[in-house]
Chain A
Amino acid sequence: MKALAGGYARARDVTHALDLLAQADGMGRVLAGGQSLIAAMNMRLSTGDMLVDISRIADLRGVAVEDGCLRIGALTRHADIGTDPLVATHAPLLVQAVHHIAHAAIRNRGTIGGSLAHADPAAEFPACVLALGGTIHLQGPEGVRQVAAEDFFVDVFETAIEEGEILTAITLPLLEAGERHVLIETARRSGDYALAGLCVVKRAAGHRVTAFSVGPRPVLAMAAMERLDAGDTAGAVDALRAEIDPPSDTQASAAYRRHLAGVLLTRALHDLTGETA
């Protein structure tokens, strides 16, 4: 299987990338780590793309604490997130996620911005950013804008990114005292997409629970969160199972995924309390 690209251009900086996208007549595709896009191109699921390679834009890479937030550049690679001390301090959920994402060689190239922009409903990072209440930073011809994670994920492989825009960074709230994160998932094999997975964030203000691989986009499990905040664990499990609408595919049925999500929530809560105990 040989990819058929329409053309390739390497962007020097974000402005240049935006210019290139504008010139691409709607065929522009941002190429970051390429770990999903190039696979799709090789399988001829995507042909004729005008590739805008942003992978060399240094400004888009790296982690910092800025303005009371953890800012992660879009091109920060999975492997770097897994070892970054600031991420470990402020968003341990992402570190947990990295261990579940594919395999070492993929993590060396794949980027967090690419993962969010690709918006695979089975991917870990989108669910993490949603669970952490993160903000996605976009830049387009009209300037920059910020989108809350709650509003960012629209459908399978579909996000709030508009034509001609580029995802530049993610900001996350800094870890508060006593805050705890758990990511739990079940996959058929190590590194496979999860049959179902959950992120649980426990903060003073309450719980945030997101589920992935159980619908067309990561789900913020509001009903389950409410039951957890009320101290009703069993009710949270029932609520979670009720508020997700998982797909069936060759790996598992909707019914299994729904059941599994409940099992995982029970286990995640056990992990949370186990840590405090």
Chain B
Amino acid sequence: MTEAFRDRIDIALTVNGEAVEGRVPAGRHLIDFLRLDLGLTGSHASCEHGVCGACTIHVDGQAVRGCLMLAAQADGAEVWTLEGLTETGVIRDLQDAFVERNALQCGYCTPGMLASIKELLDMGGVPDRATIREHLSGNYCRCTGYEAIIDAVESVAKARAGEAAA
């Protein structure tokens, strides 16, 4: 190997508002770094080929597939996982709506689902059901049949829009 390439990379980033450092194998994806190195097991790996959406997290303000980003690429990034989003309370209304509407069953898709929904809700407005379904079309849920999730998102969007208008 030449000097320039490393098979272990030192990274420093912010995760859930906390500064963290790590040394990661070149091929390690960001979800494994979060789960194995930081113990943030609220993020789930499932398909590890970018299809199921279970690993969706926020990196530099955008929802991304954690399995399709190397930990090495997250050097200097700002990463938010469900643990951090929970602590800050920014999606409390969405989490409450999920519980009330039973928009989760086994809960395995839920962290990624919430991360994807956060991005949609942050755009503001009240998306119609087709738009919500389309936005979540990359997040697989085998349990719910999706309708309860769509209901929960719709109710939160309406509530937020109502608050914004008031």
Contacts and interface: CB of A to CB of B under 8 A. Distances in A.
Is A–B contact present in the complex under a CB 8 A cutoff?
A: yes
A191 B50 contact: no
Given A4-B27, A41-B27, A190-B137, A103 B4 contact: no
User: What does DSSP make chain B's interface, helix, strand, loop or mixed?
Assistant: mixed
B45 to A, nearest CB: 10
Interface stretch (B66-74, B80-88, B99-107): B66-74
Contacts of A10: 72, 75
B125 to A, nearest CB: 15
Contacts of B25: 5
A9 B5 contact: yes
B137 A103 contact: yes
Contacts of A102: 138
Interface residues of A, number: 37
B63 interface: yes
B5 A24 contact: yes
A41 B137 CA distance: 24
A130 interface: no
Contacts of B9: 8
Contacts of A105: 53, 56, 62-65, 116, 119, 138
B48 A109 contact: no
B68 A5 contact: no
B134 interface: yes
5 contacts: A8-B6, A9-B5, A20-B5, A34-B70, A51-B26
Interface of B: 1-2, 4-7, 9, 25-29, 32, 48-50, 53, 56, 62-65, 67-70, 72-73, 75, 116, 119-120, 134-135, 137-139
